[in-house]
Amino acid sequence: MKILFKYLRGFYRRMTVGFLIKTAGTVVELLIPYILTHILKNVITKSVKDILFWGGAMLVCAVIACVCNIVANRMAARVSRNFAESMRKDLFIKTLRLSASQTDKFTIPSLESRITTDTYNVHHFVNMMQRLGVRAPIMLIGGIGITLFMDAYLALAMIAVLPFIFITVYFISKKGVPLYTRVQKSVDGMIRVVREDAQGIRVIKALSKTDYEHRRYDAVNSALIKDETRAGVVMGSVNPIMTVLMNVGSVAVIALASGRVESGLSNPETVVAFMQYFTLISMAMMSVTRMFVMYTKCAASARRISEVFDADEDIKVYDKSEFPDKADGDHIVFDNVSFSYKGVKDNLKSISFSLPKGGRLGIIGATGSGKTTLIKLLLRFYDVSNGSIFINGENIKTIEKSRFYAMFGSAMQQDFLYADTIAENIRFGREIDDESVIAAARIAQADGFITDFAEGYDHLLTPHGSNISGGQKQRILISRALASKPEILILDDSSSALDYKTDAALRSALSESLGETTVITVAQRVSSVKDCDMIIVLDEGEIIGMGNHNDLLDSCEEYREISESQMGGAFVE
């Protein structure tokens, strides 16, 4: 719960004012039953004028209490809203800065759940804490104090019940935190299925798998319902138990009061006021119980949020004394690089090659051979397990992140388009002028179909670019990669949806326009990499062939088989 106090620190002054207003309203509200007792005992037999005066006093107290509560509640809502906004913003920023391995560990659905559901639970608790956290204790303590003053004997009978209530609330609430943590994990699972189905809806329909996905969703939904039911039953038992105990106390008070009135030790007016205070105390106890239930949800959610905030940065920038430069004149160097995702089996083994500035590197291999993993290491999404990677002679572990990522322009397999204009999707929030946007689109062979739209570059795309074809989507993504005039351009299977003619035109335009840019192309098609200065053939994480197209046709059987199976040894330009 430390995370709450950290983010509430800037709101202490406003919360204090709200607490004071809420306190004033609650104290005034406590006076109403006392005034009623005075009317019943001392005023009811007097003039109508006195009755109206004291009745008016009760009305004034009720109005003051109402106004104070409204003002305090509005202030509480504003504080909780701004608090949650600040926390969600920082959590979102922290999520974006997590490394790839940390994102893998948390999982995307869980991170989405923490930013949405968990922050809502914390926001709801902070809001209700300000509304009930002041009023309920004052009502409880004030009501007990006044009843002790009015009739200590009856008050003690009521107070005797309270320890049992507190013990019940404490032990049940203690069980609530792990239960609600489990609920949130089930929410993660449901979000994962919904997210997958929403992204793959076309495939699901095409393969007639809607019934299968319904069953899959029902399974995670049933698991969530089961966990919510278990938590709800346990936490929901607080109110019935508390109600029973409070009713037992009420019956005991009434039984004792009747004897005391009969013996003249008390009077009916005091008993009437006493029962009103008993009702207020019961409501305060209900509020306290509600706060405990909400606390269990908040504590579970706050713990999950803190896990993200507490995640240490594992992709750090190191000093050059730890990872010295390597002055060999090449632009990109992989020096005996090995990597494993889980630390058990190497996904890449002893990868070594060098590429001069402005060079063209092609990477080809079967699915799962490690092509994209190699690119992820170059982009430092993960750190190598062994070996080193150098850019311009600097170990990439020593390059400041802002300078490092500014070197790259990339169009990856899983890149996305968002609901905005084509121009903004190419610009992607960067300070890139319209001329550069259009120039990049022309190189990427996208300008032709973009200008065919009535709105041109202002044509609105739907989420994920679902209102354009796969080839058009890929060309916009390549335009995005080119727009910033990167030092290193990475095309990871980004032309798979292009026909051979467009692919050939794209490769020709890249060759003509990017003389000083180092281009790395990952592809399944030999035609996409055959013009590269150097081609690497990967198989099960190892380099099994390296050289230009002609060299590999002679020296690498696997490359030759791929070439012949795809094009029969011939290529169409």
Predicted confidence at residue 572, as pLDDT, reads 43
The DSSP result for 172-232, as a single string, is HHHHHHHHHHHHHHHHHHHHHHHHHHHHTHHHHHHTT-HHHHHHHHHHHHHHHHHHHHHHH
Whether 19 has a pLDDT exceeding 50, the answer reads yes
The three-point CA angle 463-467-473 to 5° equals 80
- Per-residue pLDDT tens digits for 152-199: 777 777 778 778 877 877 777 777 778 888 888 888 888 888 877 877
Q: How does residue 563 score in pLDDT terms, banded at 50, 70 and 90? A: confident
Average pLDDT for residues 278-283, to the nearest whole number? 77
Distance CA 523, CA 348 (A): 18
Mean pLDDT, residues 245-254: 78
Q: Give the count of beta carbons closer than 10 Å to the beta carbon of residue 285.
A: 25
Confidence check: pLDDT of 13 > 50: yes
Q: What is the per-residue pLDDT for 569?
A: 47
Between CA 481 and CA 495 the distance in angstroms is 13
Instruction: Reply yes or no on whether the pLDDT at 311 is more than 50.
Output: yes
- CATH assignment, 316-407+517-573: 3.40.50.300
pLDDT at 571 over 60: no
Tokens linked to 94:
């922290």
**Quick one: average pLDDT of 259-283?**
76
Would you state the pLDDT for residue 454? 92
Q: Which long-range contacts (CB under 8 A, 24 or more apart) does 217-224 make?
A: 217/190, 217/193, 220/186, 220/189, 220/190, 220/192, 220/193, 221/190, 223/186, 223/189, 224/183, 224/186, 224/187, 224/189, 224/190
306 band by pLDDT with thresholds 50, 70 and 90: very high
Topology annotation, domain 2-189+237-309: ABC transporter transmembrane region fold (1.20.1560)
Give the whole-number percent of the chain exceeding pLDDT 90.
34
Count other Cβ atoms within 10 Å, centred on residue 404.
17
pLDDT at 567: 65
The answer, yes or no, to whether residue 568 has pLDDT greater than 70, is: no
Say yes or no to pLDDT of 529 above 60: yes
Higher pLDDT, 346 or 259: 346
Mean of pLDDT values over 355-382: 91
pLDDT, tens only, 494-528: 877 788 888 888 888 988 888 789 999 998 888 88
Say what the pLDDT of residue 495 is: 79
570: pLDDT strictly greater than 50: no
Reported as a pLDDT band with limits 50, 70 and 90, residue 319 is very high
Query: What's the mean pLDDT in 258-276?
Result: 76
> Between 20 and 137, where is the model more confident?
20
CA angle 371, 372, 378 (to 5 degrees): 100
Residue 336: band (very low, low, confident or very high) from pLDDT cuts 50, 70, 90? very high
| Per-residue confidence (pLDDT) for residue 70, from 0 to 100 | 92
Burial class (CB in 10 A: 0-12, 13-18, 19+), 63: exposed
How much of the chain exceeds pLDDT 70, in percent? 98
How many C-alpha atoms does 97 have within 13 Å on its Cβ side? 16
For the chain, where do the domains classified as CATH 1.20.1560.10 start and end?
2-189+237-309
- The whole-number pLDDT of residue 552 equals 92
Q: Where in the chain is the domain with CATH 3.40.50.300?
A: 316-407+517-573, 409-485
Percent composition of the chain: helix, strand, coil (DSSP 3-state, to 5) = 65, 10, 25
Please give the structure tokens belonging to residue 95. 């999520």
Output the pLDDT for position 275. 76
CA distance 36 to 560: 99
- The confidence score (pLDDT) of residue 573 equals 43
Say whether pLDDT at 65 is over 60.
Answer: yes
Return the pLDDT at 26: 87
pLDDT confidence bin for 318, thresholds 50/70/90? very high
Q: 546: helix, coil or strand?
A: strand
**Per-residue pLDDT for 27 more than 90?**
no
- Sheet of 360-365, strand order: 408-411, 488-492, 518-523, 360-365, 534-539, 542-547
213-217, 439-443, 447-451: least confidently modelled range: 213-217
Question: Does pLDDT of 357 surpass 70?
Answer: yes
Is a pLDDT exceeding 50 seen at residue 356? yes
> Residues 436-457, buried b or exposed e (16+ Cβ, 10 A)?
bbbbbbbbbbbbebbeeeeeeb
**What pLDDT, in 10s, does the model give residues 389-398?**
999 999 999 9
297, 372 Cβ separation under 8 angstroms: no
> For 409-485, which CATH class?
alpha beta
Average pLDDT, the chain: 86
Which is more confidently placed, 199 or 121?
121
Is residue 450's pLDDT more than 90?
yes
